[in-house]
């Protein structure tokens, strides 16, 4: 009794609890989501009708709500540019959240509604002086996004202003605005280059990556601007943010390839070495793109002895994620093409897993094939044999052809490959059998052609491995080979290579085992698929040409031709007819021709035996498919290497100069290791400056033809006079810029000191 009572109490209690919970959760749902964003996202479009009213209202909450509605509409793909005018009014809102949403809206639509955006230019310009760096940067971003060439000069001014901003974040935004301004109107190039030059001297590592972006977009050929910055940029590489490191590494690599001498094992330029040593720690970045950028530097600027250092970082990336693995394995494959030995110790890392992506599996198979050498081929071959069981047909055929290539490239494992391939022929799966047969055919053909041309004398196998033994081996097992394509292929091989000059027990001029294959296959002719029938006819014809005198052989052939003549399949009948008329001139025994009484009536050309032989045997393609060599010219770390298609706009790295430019061009007072003891710092600076001033003359002297000495030659004509004066102007410009540089670097170095004495960690 009491138990029942207790039960009912507990039941009631739990019911009450549930009720409480329900009502509570309902309340909270109302509370948190009533005005939550989700409802805004999901609401139907027509509810947005009063957005305009809300935007015009005085309440910040209404405005915020309206802005959120607009952003929701944007993300649903609606065009909400009609509200532009109302939105722009709110750009000066005191509420930061509204302001940010307004900017998000403007960033989207400024490009599409340039005329309306023009109306608000004053506001943006005012925002450029806002106390919050976030607002300043956003204003600049919107301003540079307005695609009206008319305001180009305003934008340039704004960029210039922001380039001198206190906050590196704003300077970064300024750098990123430069390419946009350049796209708008290319006539601002000189001004923009000036700004880039200033920004290049920026001491804060935060913005330098974006400056590299601007440089590449606006003036990629003006690498001479980097001379004095090169060493400093190498030095601060570690402190730059990860995205900036990528851009900076690309830029420095291009500089090195253009301006520095080609490194060799014995002689590597100091500045190249400096770049390599500064970049090397970045192999330890967690960002895969940074690791690859460093790899590019080592691969394209380092001498071969440096290449081994990029191996382990690349292997590490393979374990990052499936997507990264997909890309990196393609790069590893590309690197291994030039230096297969680099990765050969790591082959266990490249073994295929069944849950790998298809492209990864295929690339890994290619890679393993390249890594197979004397020590590893056993293990790698076993892997390939395992991969032939894969559930993906493309992978299977890749694995089997890899076995074939293995046999071709490494003579010591040929026998093993062949036995593997031959056992695959008996497999029940079409993909396995057809690829195995194809590969076998290639192998045999390759070996035979190698034996005749003797250019591949190395490959020419020992007697027991000779291609003919393979064929005879296959021929003896013709009964086991059931797959149509495989059977057809074996029959073709037998016919093609049946000629023999050695005396044998069988018919003269034919290898011993060939007629038996014909006998066996003729027996079951009627039940064979057409593909095999065709090959039986061809085999019969070939044997007959080789040995027209043997009576038994011609009887079998006659039998085959007769069956074929009345076959249900057109192709088989046609082939039989063609072959019999081809063989008409052989003067064969009655068995073949007698049953064709109307043969003589046809007339026409009758071929002699040698001619028939030529027709039947020669002109067959003996191809060993050359290894595909697409994307040899594609660079490491570009999209084309992954898609295997030209992606356009692929900017190739320039080749090395024979001799680099004068290394003193890169000297700055920063790297002067120890100032000469006799002179003070102030007195050592001027000669330094002189040198850097004089060096452009060295550069131009080759083109201008002016002697680099101080004395000017006599003027010959007016044109030349002006030309020279221009050059002088340029020089003096350079000089003044140099001075600017000095001035600002001095300022900057103070900043730097502050930075380092503050809490900035030094690495």
Partner 1 sequence: MAIDGLIILDNTGRPIIQSGFRSTSPAYPLLHVDAFNNTVPKSQRQGDIDPVIYVPPYNVADSPSACCHVECGDMRILCPVSGDVDPLFAFAFLQTFIEILREYFGALSAATLKDNFDVVYQLLEETLDSGGHPLTTSPNALRDIVLPPSLLSKLLSVAGANINSAMNSGSALGATGGPFSSPIPWRKAGLRYNSNEIYFDVVEELKAIVNRHGTTLSSSVWGKIETNAKLSGTPDCMLTFTNPHVITDCAFHPCVRLQRWKRDSSLSFVPPDGHFTLAEYRFTPGASATSARFMAAGAPAVVQSAKENVPIPFLLKPTVELTESGGTFEFKLTSRMPSQTIEALVAEMYLGEGAGGVKCVASRGDGGLSSGRRGTPETGSSSTTGSWTFDQRKMVVRWEIPVVPPSSVWSLRGSFTSLNSSPRPAHALQVRFTLSSFTFSTLKVDQLKVTGEVYKPYKGVRGKATGNVEWRW
Interacting residues with partner 1 between 587 and 646 (CB under 8 A)? 635, 637-640, 642-643, 645-646
SS (H, E, C) 218-243: HCCCCHHHHCCCHHHHHHHHHHCCHH
Binding part of the chain for partner 1, among 31-39, 446-454, 504-512, 686-694 by CB under 8 A, reads 31-39
510 forms bridges with which residues in the sheet?
A: 499
H/E run at residue 444 = helix 430-453
Report the distance separating Cα 368 and Cα 361, nearest Å: 10
Nearest to 79 by CA among 102, 113, 43, 52: 113
Contact with partner 1 (CB under 8 A): which of 6, 16, 18, 31? 31
Binding part of the chain for partner 1, among 37-45, 267-275, 598-606, 686-694 by CB under 8 A, reads 37-45
Helices (H), 605-672: 609-617, 639-643
Contact with partner 1 (CB under 8 A): which of 83, 90, 179, 561? 179
Answer whether 204's CB lies under 8 Å from 168's CB: yes
Answer yes or no whether residue 132 interacts with partner 1 by CB under 8 A.
yes
CB of 314 vs partner 1, minimal distance in Å: 10
Give every CB contact of residue 368 below 8 A, 6+ residues apart in sequence.
347, 350, 351, 380, 383, 384, 402
Report the distance separating Cα 563 and Cα 572, nearest Å: 10
Answer yes or no whether residue 748 interacts with partner 1 by CB under 8 A.
no
Tokens found for residue 233: 């940029």
Answer yes or no whether residue 273 interacts with partner 1 by CB under 8 A.
no
Answer yes or no whether residue 339 interacts with partner 1 by CB under 8 A.
no
Answer yes or no whether residue 482 interacts with partner 1 by CB under 8 A.
no
Nearest to 101 by CA among 88, 118, 112, 114: 88
First to last CA, the chain: 78
Binding part of the chain for partner 1, among 162-170, 571-579, 604-612, 678-686 by CB under 8 A, reads 162-170
Binding part of the chain for partner 1, among 26-34, 444-452, 682-690, 732-740 by CB under 8 A, reads 26-34
Answer yes or no whether residue 48 interacts with partner 1 by CB under 8 A.
no
Interacting residues with partner 1 between 429 and 458 (CB under 8 A)? 429
Nearer Cβ to partner 1, position 50 or 132? 132
Contact with partner 1 (CB under 8 A): which of 202, 269, 271, 390? 390
For residue 710, the SS3 value is coil
CB of 209 vs partner 1, minimal distance in Å: 8
CB of 190 vs partner 1, minimal distance in Å: 22
Answer yes or no whether residue 292 interacts with partner 1 by CB under 8 A.
yes
Report the distance separating Cα 321 and Cα 205, nearest Å: 29
Torsional class of 95: left (φ above 0), alpha (ψ -120 to 50), beta (otherwise): beta
Answer whether 121's CB lies under 8 Å from 151's CB: yes
Binding mask 641-670 for partner 1 (x = CB under 8 A): -xx-xxxxxxx-------------------
Report the distance separating Cα 175 and Cα 542, nearest Å: 76
Interacting residues with partner 1 between 524 and 583 (CB under 8 A)? none
Contact with partner 1 (CB under 8 A): which of 17, 36, 587, 713? 36
CB of 636 vs partner 1, minimal distance in Å: 9
Interacting residues with partner 1 between 216 and 245 (CB under 8 A)? 238, 241-243
CB of 745 vs partner 1, minimal distance in Å: 21
Binding part of the chain for partner 1, among 9-17, 61-69, 184-192, 548-556 by CB under 8 A, reads 61-69
Answer yes or no whether residue 369 interacts with partner 1 by CB under 8 A.
no
Answer yes or no whether residue 322 interacts with partner 1 by CB under 8 A.
yes
Tokens found for residue 756: 């380092």
Answer whether 240's CB lies under 8 Å from 209's CB: yes
Binding part of the chain for partner 1, among 15-23, 343-351, 472-480, 661-669 by CB under 8 A, reads 343-351
Number of Cβ atoms within 10 Å of the Cβ of 643:
12
For residue 694, the SS3 value is helix
Cite the beta strand spans of 566-620 per DSSP E: none
Answer whether 591's CB lies under 8 Å from 555's CB: yes
Answer yes or no whether residue 38 interacts with partner 1 by CB under 8 A.
yes
Size of the site for partner 1 (CB under 8 A): 119
Binding part of the chain for partner 1, among 1-9, 103-111, 416-424, 690-698 by CB under 8 A, reads 103-111
Answer yes or no whether residue 286 interacts with partner 1 by CB under 8 A.
yes
Answer yes or no whether residue 683 interacts with partner 1 by CB under 8 A.
no
């Amino acid at each position: 009794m009491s138990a029942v009572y207790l039960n009912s109490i507990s039941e009631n209690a739990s019911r009450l609890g549930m009720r409480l919970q329900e009502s509570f959760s309902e309340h909270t749902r109302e509370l948190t989501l009533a005005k939550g964003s989700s409802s805004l996202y999901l609401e139907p479009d027509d509810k947005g009708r009063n957005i305009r009213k809300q935007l015009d209202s005085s309440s910040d909450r209404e405005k915020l709500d309206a802005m959120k509605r607009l952003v929701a509409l944007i993300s649903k793909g609606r065009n909400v540019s009609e509200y532009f005018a109302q939105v722009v009014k709110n750009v000066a809102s005191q509420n930061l959240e509204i302001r940010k949403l307004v900017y998000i809206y403007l960033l989207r639509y400024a490009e599409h509604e340039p005329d309306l955006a023009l109306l608000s230019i004053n506001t943006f310009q005012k925002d450029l002086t806002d106390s919050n760096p976030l607002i300043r940067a956003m204003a600049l971003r919107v301003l540079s996004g307005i695609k009206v060439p008319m305001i180009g000069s305003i934008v340039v001014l704004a960029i210039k202003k922001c380039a001198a901003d206190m906050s590196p974040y704003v300077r970064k935004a300024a750098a990123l605005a430069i390419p946009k301004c350049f796209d708008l109107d290319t006539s601002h190039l000189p001004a923009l280059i000036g700004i880039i030059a200033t920004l290049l001297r920026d001491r804060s590592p935060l913005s330098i990556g974006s400056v590299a972006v601007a440089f590449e977009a606006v003036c990629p050929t003006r690498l001479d601007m980097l001379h004095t910055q090169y060493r400093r940029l190498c030095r601060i590489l570690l402190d730059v943010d990860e995205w900036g490191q990528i851009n900076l590494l690309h830029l420095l690599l291009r500089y090195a390839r253009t301006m520095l001498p080609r490194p060799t094992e014995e002689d590597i330029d100091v500045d190249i070495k400096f770049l390599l040593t500064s970049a090397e720690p970045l192999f330890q970045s967690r960002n895969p793109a940074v690791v690859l950028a460093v790899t590019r530097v080592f691969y394209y600027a380092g001498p071969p002895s440096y290449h081994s250092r990029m191996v382990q970082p690349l292997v590490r990336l393979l374990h990052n994620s499936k997507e990264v693995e997909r890309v990196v394995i393609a790069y590893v494959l590309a690197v291994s093409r030039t230096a297969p030995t680099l990765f050969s110790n790591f082959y266990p890392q490249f073994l295929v897993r069944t849950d790998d992506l298809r492209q990864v599996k295929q690339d890994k198979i290619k890679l393993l094939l390249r890594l197979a050498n004397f020590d590893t081929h056993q293990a790698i071959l076993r892997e390939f044999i395992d991969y032939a069981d894969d559930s993906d047909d493309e992978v299977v055929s890749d694995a089997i052809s890899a076995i074939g290539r293995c046999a071709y490239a490494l003579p010591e494992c040929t026998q093993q490959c062949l036995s593997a391939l031959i056992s695959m022929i008996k497999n029940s799966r079409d993909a396995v059998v057809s690829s195995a047969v194809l590969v076998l055919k290639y192998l045999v053909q390759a070996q035979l052609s190698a034996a005749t041309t003797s250019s591949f004398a190395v490959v020419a196998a020992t007697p027991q491995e000779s291609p003919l033994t393979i064929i005879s081996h296959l021929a003896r097992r013709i009964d086991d080979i059931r797959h149509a394509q495989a059977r057809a292929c074996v029959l073709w091989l037998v016919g093609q290579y049946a000629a023999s000059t050695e005396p044998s027990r069988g018919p003269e001029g034919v290898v011993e085992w060939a007629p038996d294959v014909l006998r066996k296959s003729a027996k079951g002719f009627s039940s064979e698929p057409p593909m095999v029938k065709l090959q039986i006819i061809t085999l019969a014809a070939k044997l007959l040409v080789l040995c027209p005198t043997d009576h038994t052989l011609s009887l079998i052939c006659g039998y085959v031709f007769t069956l074929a003549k009345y076959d249900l399949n057109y192709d088989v009948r046609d082939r039989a007819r063609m072959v019999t008329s081809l063989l008409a001139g052989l003067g064969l025994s009655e068995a073949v021709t007698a049953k064709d009484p109307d043969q003589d009536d046809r007339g026409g050309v009758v071929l002699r035996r040698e001619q028939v032989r030529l027709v039947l045997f020669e002109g067959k393609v003996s191809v060993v498919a050359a290894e595909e060599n697409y994307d040899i010219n594609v660079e490491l770390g570009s999209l084309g290497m992954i898609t295997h298609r030209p992606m356009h706009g692929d900017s190739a790295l320039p080749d090395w100069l024979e001799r680099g430019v004068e290394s003193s061009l890169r000297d700055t007072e920063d790297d002067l290791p120890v100032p000469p003891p006799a002179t003070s710092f102030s007195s050592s600076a001027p000669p330094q400056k002189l040198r850097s001033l004089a060096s452009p003359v060295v550069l131009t002297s080759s083109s201008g033809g002016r002697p680099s000495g101080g004395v000017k030659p006599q003027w010959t004509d007016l044109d030349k006079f002006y030309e020279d004066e221009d050059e002088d102007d340029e020089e003096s410009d350079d000089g003044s810029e140099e001075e600017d540089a000095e001035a600002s670097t001095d300022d900057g170095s103070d900043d730097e000191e502050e930075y380092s004495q503050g809490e900035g960690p030094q690495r």
